[in-house]
Amino acid sequence: MKIEQTPLKDSFILTPTIFNDERGSFHETFNDILFKKVSGQKVNFVQDNQSTSSFGVLRGLHYQLGKMAQAKLVRAIEGRILDIVVDMRKESETFGKHFSVILDDISKKQLFVPRGFAHGFITLSPTSKFAYKCDNFYDKNSEQGIIYNDATLQLDWHLPNDKLIISEKDLKLPSFLEAIAK
């Protein structure tokens, strides 16, 4: 497994070594010892989540505040998605910056999203199955978000607005500037 730092502090891309033969394939999705050695971070995942989406479904940008903040290890089990993270940590040297990566069922790359980051993704294939391991439990009272089309961040979701499918809840999320003012 190859673990590489993204342009955002404490966020990493994990690329597995895939072993293929006549039976199919095998790959390691996480190795705690290697991750700690490369990242310097110890993560204890306590909750696994999975979603299924159709083409154009945009979920996010979401994060949790305070003691309920979550680090996540995310991947596309099936299909192709664009994953975007935003560093919301005011003390971070990469505060307010964002990073995007394509995650798919071919490369099997994963993205480590540290605590304090907003996270969202959009399905670019006909369907997707998206999985994420979390190091803290979901808490509705700690949930926060940023609107997908924030003017300050100017995120590129790779699809025109008329192709996006977004929940009513996500359409009501605040701007980046409103979110950091809290």
**From first to last of its 182 residues, what are the pLDDT tens digits of the chain?**
999 999 999 999 999 999 999 998 899 999 999 999 999 999 999 999 999 999 999 999 999 999 999 999 999 999 999 999 999 999 999 999 999 999 999 999 999 999 999 999 999 999 999 999 999 999 999 999 999 999 999 999 999 999 999 999 999 999 999 999 97
| Sheet containing 110-113: order of strands | 2-5, 12-15, 110-113, 72-78, 127-134, 47-54
Please name the fold of domain 2-180. Jelly Rolls (2.60.120)
Amino acid occupying residue 89: R
The catalytic position among 62, 63, 98, 148 is: 62
Residue 69 vs residues 4, 15, 94: alpha-carbon distances, Å: 23, 25, 18
pLDDT score for 34:
94
CA distance 5 to 52: 28
Are 99 and 15 in contact, with CB atoms under 8 Å apart? Answer: no
Which DSSP string do the residues of 25-37 spell out, in sequence order?
EE-----HHHHHH
CA distance 153 to 109: 25
Give the Cβ contact number of residue 116 at 10 Å: 21
Tokens of 111: 């993205």
Can 132 be counted among the known catalytic residues? yes
The catalytic position among 98, 119, 132, 148 is: 132
Can 138 be counted among the known catalytic residues? no
Give the Cβ contact number of residue 158 at 10 Å: 13
- Domain extent listing, the chain: 2-180
Tokens of 126: 């006909």
Q: Which pTM was predicted?
A: 0.93
